[in-house]
Structure 1
Amino acid sequence: MTRALDTAGTAEALDRYRERAGQTLAGGVVALVGGVVVGFLPGPAWTGDVVAWAVCLGVVFACVGAGALVTARRMRAVLTAGEWSAHAAVPVAIPIPVPVPVPAAVTPVGTASSPAYERLAALAGRQSAPGSRRPEADVRSAPWWRVRGLRRISGLSEVLVTAGSCACAGGLLLLPLEGFERAYLFGLGAVSLLLLVFRTFRFLTGGAGAARLLVRAATAPVPVVRRYALLHDPRDDVPVLVLFPAHGGPDDLPEAVLPLVPPGPQKKPRLGLPPSSTGTVDLRGWLDRTDDGQPVVVPWIDDRPLWPAGPYRETGAAEVTSLLDRLAPPPAPAPRTLP
């Protein structure tokens, strides 16, 4: 099998890219370490300005080099993933299995790994009320960066907090401070700047795009109505919507699951969840899909969006079955009695 990386031109280009990335990372580390060392040495007054520039440039170049090395690693994984071909891609017909009809007399009552609506609704009703929280900006009329949940998902909140720390450290360095205090603030500012560069890079390369994708899903015109039972994963307390057909009975089995981002603060993550643990939900989106083909949807309950922590996943997959087992563990077997 011939892979894309087996071709001479591709391999040489990738090696050159990795070499430049390593040189950039090494130069950034040298500048950062050299600046910190020189900062502790006695010298003229202008040394502080030179040290500040050396550390800032070192942090920037180190982050760029590290990011380029990660990109090179991902490129290598992609180029070695499958067989290379110079031909254009052609559509391939995938046979779809025809479902076997179930006799009308058979009614699903649920199993340990596929609990029915009645059981999940009863478990959801035993949970304590989540409590209310001030509503966030309406994503249908406000820019996404004003929506509290999207700022958190995109990482913009972390960028703003880190930028504030950098500004605070930079402002304190302008004051007449002793050598140790100045060196301490200088180190704190360097660490904050490193975090700022990393978080800004992550926000620009992934977080902002994810937020815009969720806005596109949340404002999609035609919703799909489903019944839901809202439970919490006992492993990490993440809220999960278990979804059922809109019109059915207590013996209906789950259609899909949708994990949610906890809307509350870190100490009270359940604040802001719907007051009712069961009801109907409007699923908006269905326009985009993840890399593994799962649809991106945003649930709306009581005319408010709940931001998903993952895609809409239909039942049948191993991870969904494992999640349902955690949400509704099988009942303990009855003790045996001796005759």
Structure 2
Amino acid sequence: MTRLAVCVRVKLHLDREVVRQNLQDSWDARWGAEALYQVAKRSTARTRQEWAEDKAVLKLAEKLKEQAASGSDVDITLLTLEALRRMALQEPEDQKPVIERVLALMVERNWRHSAKSLARLFWLGAPLKGEGSLKKHFEPKSLPSQLRSKQTDLDGPDLALILAAMKGEKGVKDTALQSKVVLRLKEKFIHRGLSATDIVEMAEALQDLGVQDEAALRPLGQEALRRRGELTPDESHRIHTAYQAMQLPLPKVWDTPGSMKTKNTADGKITTQAFALQDGHEKKRHGNNDFERTSPPRVVRDMKMCSY
């Protein structure tokens, strides 16, 4: 067995032990929901399935399901539901009663909740939008309207959830909300907090929705190219396909090398020149890694030190 394989097994064992110990000694839904959410977000498709079969994770999921069924903290409940859904440990239909209760609480409190919680609710409820009491809350004047009013508070992961909820034939269609999302995608630094997988799925959703606003598409594509070292071969193929379908090949998202732009600011005119991205300058994959590679053995050149 290689050193790398040993390190992986040790890390997984330690993680399981930490979860087991805290489940018994210091359980709290806040850390439990966040822990499961981080496992879901940082795992690959393969390792996510492996984690979903782990006994400690399954026990954690059961405790979170119990908490969600009776808890009154809307924000923690929504985080719990998202984590369970991402880990494929609970189906949308099974979450329906909790989503209905959360919606009732939000309406009772006049929607006084964060943009992040609203975006989570939008994503969680999208597959059930036409069922029973949920239907009226996904009409333009209800939940979508609340999201539109909090446009400036939406961050990258929030936009990813909204786009995912709008994607496909069964997605929630709201032209006004879509316009707000596209406008927000033009903001500087909006891509912070997004995983490489999020970026790929956002590109596919934008293509599905027929978005062709290059001012929104170019920054997203540029972020994907900066982080191409994080993309799997399948993800790379998918995002290239999406951009090709939007009539903007991914390599073309950069301005022509050598071209210059001038804009007026409070400090005067600022001129920028475009340069081509060079190999080796892209960001390396780190956020979604299952483990970190161990450092190579240190070589000591000092013969005197070697004798100790």
- When normalised by structure 2's length, the TM-score is 0.21
If asked which structure has higher relative contact order (CA below 8 Å, sep 6+), I would say 1
- When normalised by structure 1's length, the TM-score is 0.20
Work out which of the two has the higher radius of gyration on C-alpha atoms and give 1 or 2.
Answer: 1
